Structure 1
Amino acid sequence: MATSAAKRIEQLRGEIRRLDHLYYVEATPEVSDLAYDRLLEELKELEAANPQFASPDSPTQRVGDAPVDHLVQVPHSVPMLSIDNTYSREELKSYFDRTEKLLDGEPIEWVMEYKIDGVAGSIRYEGGAMTLALTRGNGDVGDDITHNIRTIRDLPLAMVGQKIPPVIEVRGEVYMTNADLADLNLRQAQSGEEPYKNTRNVTAGTIRLLDPAIAAQRKLRFFCHGVGQTDGLKAKTHIEFLREVGQLGIPPTPDVQLFPNSAAALEAVAALEEEMPELPFEVDGIVFKVNDFNQRDRLGMRSKSPRWLIAYKFERYEASTILTSITVQVGKTGTITPVANLTPVDIADTTVSRASLHNADEIERLDVREGDTVIVEKAGKIIPKVVRVEKHLRKTDLPKWTFPTECPQCESELVRDEGGVYIRCPNPSCPAQLRQRLVYFGSRTGMDIDGLGEEVVDLLMSHRLIEGYADLYRLNVDQVAALAWPKQRKGKDGAMIDVLFGQLNAEALIRGIDASRDRGLARVLSSISIRHVGPRVAKLISRVHFTIGKLMDASIDDLASIHEIGDRIAKSVVEFCSSPTGRQLFADLETVGVKLSDPEPEKIEGSPIVGKSVVVTGTLKQFKRDEIKGLIEKLGGRASSSVSKKTDFLLAGEKAGSKLEKAEKLGVKIITEDEFQAMLDNASSDSESV
């Protein structure tokens, strides 16, 4: 009997830990709350009946501590230092330049991660078991909050995995999601208590509570982004560290990106900012860190902060308003995006009347309904975001908003991406998709057609002059000049009147369209809204398949073999090119004289690095970093940023550090700058003799 009880207890503990990880870390709950509660209740009953099998790391012990009398201050084994901040791209670039100068110009890989707006904490594990959790305090001494941190369900009470380090302190952010704050405020209102203003304030208060039972009800969470004292940690870089702690069961900070240099990191800031509104938690900036631990050691510390990281922060502003209605808009690839229409409210000197709700899952997570009072946030240059619903102010039983099943424009039945969150209109001829595709086609990131903006696209479509990209190249000046569009007349009445497009405007538009005919294949591919194909992917493809004929004949395997492409992108491109829509599109563009080829890459005879992966490290005498990358690609190689088993050559300059050591351990062929120059000379002489 005791054996069967022990077996069932271990089964339940393992299953509950797995479900906790799915819910809190992976955000993919597998069972209902009721089913989860039944498992937990069964475990409690079995443990009560069999106390000999009690364990401090059991899920039932999340709230097993008695309230403490007061918080005890404990010294940090390794100080928790602060982070320097910057508020502009110019200051950020200056920081990168200073750091590179301190390392004598050697290449630096940069890690970019969200600066989550929570409360810093340090959690210590000994022998795999959680033993101590502290606030940052003054950096040298923090408050003991172990009793409350043990209630956080995405943190293991005992680490998992085969190679658990004897001692490890993980540093990170304790935080609360916006949806959990909305639910907490509803409970606060129902009990007659004041609601909390934001997630950070409630998190800071919760971790300092004396009673862990209250903390358990508030669903705090944790992301690891740093390390204190360790014994047995193998990671040599930040990316390796995050991977290693993840394997131990500790949730690492999400969506971390690695860049080969500061220029690439700066270029990616805007894209990361655009993704922030979809996050379920609050973010007040982006943190940049030197990836290599050896380089960090050499950069050292200032008096209060390390030299190897910086936070790029932006001011956050928010306001309360009413969500009057939810509508949907159709994107250029058919994505149906729900939009919150708001009672206009001023936020950071901007009047906000609309905000994206992103997708159906976001609406479900927020539990947002028409008529709700919502908190809208604007941070820096980021588009307005509905942060949460003030459920405690919901006066009536508002009906849930249901996602449409048909496209609002063409009435096609909508479909959800397989394994994804987006719902799309599958009709490539949908007028709403066509409008968005044409607007993007004319944009700077598209074919860069001067004068082809949203209003002009609407005007041309309303007169049925364009039904596809090729129709743009069939327009003439007289045809466009004679068009009339409604404009609001200046003056007291503000009446709408028809205004001719005019000769000068028409001539300018046709000039812009004609100038775009010769942009080339890569530009066309990135402009016609093929899913997963942007400017960089298009360039990678056109370097190999540099004519439309070659591309149309390419298979999924052909495209997937191109470095950085992969199966998903390859499948998307081949499916588009082989579809009736794609074939007709390219045929039409060719008919109207749009260039569908790029220059044929130089054939490299005798180069030993054709198709090879090459990593550059250390300081070079003869080449600049951008120059060496271009030369590697000219020789038919791939310039990579990190050493792995797949690296074919390491080009080592002076003061080569950890990458050289790693290459030697992995048996990667190491070449000098002179040897690389010899490759250039040999390749050059071979091509001349052909």
Structure 2
Amino acid sequence: MAPAASKPPDPQIRQRAAQLREQIHYHNYRYYVLDAPEISDAEFDRLMEELQRLEEQYPELVTPDSPTQRVGAPPLEKFETVTHRIPMLSLENAFSEGETREFQQRLQRFLRTEEQFDYVVEPKMDGVAVELVYENGQLQVGSTRGDGWRGENVTQNLKTIRTIPLVLLKSGEPIPARLEVRGEVYIERADFKKLNEQRLAQGEQPFANPRNAAAGSLRQLDSSITAQRPLNIFCYGVGEVSGHEFASHWEILQQLAAWGLRTNPYIEQVTGIDAAIAYHHRLEQQRPALPYEIDGVVIKVNSIALQERLGIKARSPRWALAYKFAATQATTRVREIRVNVGRTGAVTPTALMDPVEVGGVTVSRATLHNEDEVRRKDVRAGDWVLIQRAGDVIPEVVMVIKERRPEHTVPFEMPTHCPVCGTKLVRPAGEAVTRCPNPDCVAVLKRSIRHFASKGAMDIDGLGEKIVDQLVDNGLIQNLSDMYSLTEADLIPLERFAEKSAQNIIAAIQGRKRVSLARFIYALGIRYVGEATAQLLAQHFQSLEALKQASEAELLQVEGVGPQVAASIRDYFRNPRNLRLLDELQAAGLEIETPERPAKLPLAGKTFVFTGGLEKYSRDEAKALVVARGGKVSSAVSAKTDYVVVGSEPGSKYAKAQALGVTILDEAAFEALLRRSV
């Protein structure tokens, strides 16, 4: 190691360091992105060693974009939260040709045209979505998708991925002052196999699949661990791009490639939905030979102008679709049917089976959903069954192979009493789900704790099934708030706990006392309220107190909340037991953050009221368009209303808006406002 120089470097040395950085970035791009190196590995190593020597001798030459800075950042204590300026929305799914054709028909109806559209079609990578923010061509921030609105800052980990340029190439169009790039981080199959072989040799648990391996690698607090993982990326789109307008999605992809970002070589332009479907079938046949996991095809309207006219729905863009591949199937034998009790008391039959590989994942359990489903399929212990990973994720039993049924099998009988607490089970009229009604059932408590601590909720590391079982079985946790009063002394006597592991669990719990409103709503485990609905509730009501006090009518004003969901939310907040829990959680020091609307949402702070019928939108669709852009929809006109949207046969709200001087929009003006607000 060269000693640091006592005097600053002269201009020639500074120029040489800048030249080396540029050369190394270029050759990195040729090797990792284009797979077309121009120099040998030995020559590349000599360039890197020369730069390292100069930076060691003159530390002031080290720049954030230097290739020597990919690895070496000190470990983090926790990940910071990043708010996406433009939300990273999910995609609507289709599972058949018919659903895919209906996608184009919806677009045609919306745009009032019978013309075929030009599409960009691309493999749907089975990885982890990330955002890369470049400012003046240099990578500044990298984050995970998270809940679509906010993710985790994993910049140091993303810098270790060689196919992510630290500096963009000056090629093609001028580089924007700010460029947000969206991509998918993944691990190739061969690399995944080697990684798991290494983990097994070191006595570590293997990863379940490449996607889990990629996600776990990105969430390492120590970037030197991430650097050892064979992560890769394909870039597929952009978020905010300052001072630059694209005519088509294809142009975006071409320009990303010109700037040195890696795009998938299988992406194509096609005309018409038939061509998109043909591409899907072709890629499905090629799927086994690809070096990485894909689970479908993404179909996007190519024209940016049409994308803007089509806009977005509550959770997904109207102009894009994920056409999934058929579920992977396999045959195995059911050894036992066991019932599990969930966090809402739902009792679900589960098939325990001989382990079998399905789509690259070893499966030994499959859901049977409910009593009616078991009876309909007549699944019995001892049966040979065909199973599949539905949506390539959740294993389920498709059918029984009855010609292979052994003699003396007996039909499944749903238990009459809870297998955990012994309470008599109930099945409400009109519901398919059987439930344990005992709120003190130990199984319900354990599942509630695991849900509360899960990644999409409070995101408390380390509270897995075995640890939660010990905490509950030893009486240390009797409700959710008890976990915040746990101490290291409580944990050390438990099985497989030492001082360090006890410290880690307590630190993880105490470190998650500040949480977003959306995460907290989801963590409560209210029946029918998933992550997406929790996000919409948080954006609409802005505080837990407002949500607690909301009537069913007010809840129904939230896009995506129907009568069943609204009734469930009201029932939850009317229950004295739940209100007591909320008080206890806040007394334990839990802080709930007021939601931040992403800065780029153009209708943030604007309140809309609708009256009369619209031609191009249902009332729910119109509301969703406003909410997705950050606006709020109210059922009543007041002086605080910003816009009243008037359709055919308007009601008294129209007259009240006129009397109050509120801005009135007809459907054409509303559409124009939406187009300006994309």
Tell me the TM-score normalised to structure 2 length. 0.45
| Structure with the greater alpha carbon radius of gyration | 1
Tell me the TM-score normalised to structure 1 length. 0.45
